[in-house]
Amino acid sequence: MTPRKIGDLIWHLHHDVLCEPLTESLANRIAYIKNHKPKAEVETRLRLMKPIRGKLPVEITKAYVAWLKAYVAWTRPELPELYVDWIKADMAGAKALSDYRPEVEALHAIECPDCPWTKHPGSIFGKGRA
């Protein structure tokens, strides 16, 4: 997988999130998966985790840019009070994703064919949230 930069949108960065921006290097995430996740899950996680190549609705992109800015500000040690701003940005991102779910899922179906998420939304392992 090509190295990605912080803020790039990735399919299945986490097993229970369809797409989200990188908040650390992709190499760090891959190392974490290899070292801390059940061995039976590693291949699936790494195979499905890939950059989004197509175009998402602009509202989603804008929401994720705002989310990333709030996340970066909040994670600075001298600004812990900005956590509330990050939570608000996170909620706005979730709303944008929900509002444009059909478009996102259509792009996902093209870029991630035969993905277990399609049959079991909520997890790449078929154990979706209630």
In 3D space, the residue among 2, 3, 26 whose CA is nearest the CA of residue 12 turns out to be 26
Predicted TM-score (pTM) of this structure: 0.82
Cα 56–chain centre separation: 13
Per-residue confidence of the chain (130 residues) as pLDDT tens digits? 555 788 889 999 999 989 988 888 999 999 999 999 999 999 999 999 999 999 999 999 899 888 888 888 877 766 667 778 888 888 998 899 899 999 999 999 999 998 998 777 888 997 643 3
Q: In whole angstroms, give the CA distance from residue 59 to residue 92.
A: 10
Smallest Cα–Cα separation from 56: which of 120, 104, 127, 128? 104
pLDDT at residue number 104: 94
